[in-house]
Amino acid sequence: MTFRSIALALGAAALVAAPAIAQGLTGAGATFPNPIYTKWFDAYNKATGIQINYQSIGSGGGIRQFTQGTVDFGATDGPMSPAQM
């Protein structure tokens, strides 16, 4: 997936959710993709003014925080089980 595709997808998501996320998004999860997420989120912030805060705490922690509703999105290296969804 190219940077442009990702930026467009994030932009579309922000437009749909803009009223609910006046200041930004918060996510947590996998540590492996954190370096690229950091670059994407910085570029997205520069383009839109929307801040995305990502906590690189591991896939299990990201799933846990997402299912508990403490973050807007979670990232995992593996699929979630039906019970987690």
Out of 10-19, 33-42, 45-54, least confident range: 10-19
From the list 58, 40, 41, the residue with the least C-alpha distance to 50 is: 41
- pTM comes to 0.68
**Which residues, other chains included, contact 58 with Cβ-Cβ below 8 Å and sequence gap of 6+?**
29, 30, 31
* The listed CATH number (3.40.800.10, 3.40.190.10, 3.40.1050.10, 3.40.50.920) that belongs to domain 1-9+25-85: 3.40.190.10
- H/E stretch holding 48: helix 34-48
Are residues 61 and 45 in contact, defined by beta-carbon separation less than 8 angstroms?
no
- H/E stretch holding 51: strand 51-56
Of 82 and 74, more confident = 74
Domain positions in the chain: 1-9+25-85
How does the average pLDDT of the chain come out, rounded?
Answer: 84
β-strand partners of 73: 27
